[in-house]
Amino acid sequence: MLLLAHIGWGKPVPIDPYNFQNPRRDELLTALAGPAANLTLAVLLSLIYRIIPSSLPYTPVSILISINVSLAIFNLLPLPPLDGSKIFLGFFPHFTEAMSRSGYLLLALLLLLPINGTNLISQIITPIISLVLRLLLPQVLI
């Protein structure tokens, strides 16, 4: 949809650190809010998935769980503009300049350069996503 209709690209939400009482801590909490919301929704949907019996391994609920877990894990990568970069910079503030200049390019390269039939980011996050999905959806073959 991004290429056809120019919709679907998530834009960073601007925040004003001057509104925070403790800017470093509060920016870290703000960055954690997105992935935490995705994981919370995945856990709640997992409970619904366990309550409502289904003979099918893949249902709309299990697909939504997979999407939310994937988004949370991807968003935790420490590369700008992802929330993981804000979290990383909360712990290592001296990386700010280098990450802000090269993060977008590095993210694009990691997403686009093929390595063994996939990309490096997929190779890093797929095992983590599979582990979380096994915890949330134990009866579905992942």
The residue with greater pLDDT, 2 or 100, is: 100
- Global pTM exceeds 0.85: no
pLDDT higher than 70, residue 74:
yes
According to the model, what pLDDT value does residue 134 have? Answer: 93
* Per-residue pLDDT reduced to its tens digit, 88-127: 887 877 776 666 677 778 888 888 888 888 888 999 999 9
CB count in 10 Å sphere of residue 48: 11
Rg (CA), the chain: 17
Q: Check: CB of residue 80 under 8 Å from CB of residue 104.
A: yes
Q: At what angle do helices 120-136 and 60-75 cross, to 10 degrees?
A: 130
| Average pLDDT over every residue of 53-78 | 88
What is the torsional sign of CA 44, 53, 138, 66?
negative
According to the model, what pLDDT value does residue 11 have? Answer: 64
According to the model, what pLDDT value does residue 77 have? Answer: 92
Distance (Å, whole) CA 112 – CA 114 = 6
Facing residues of 114 across strands?
119
pLDDT higher than 60, residue 142:
no
Range with lowest mean pLDDT among 5-9, 20-24, 87-91, 118-122: 5-9
Q: Which amino acid is at 114?
A: P
pLDDT higher than 60, residue 67:
yes
Task: DSSP letter for 119, please.
Answer: E
Name the average pLDDT for the chain. 84
What's the Cα-to-Cα distance from 83 to each of 45, 46, 91, 135, 138, rounded to whole Å?
23, 24, 13, 24, 28
Structure tokens that stand for 71 in this block: 């988004």
According to the model, what pLDDT value does residue 70 have? Answer: 96
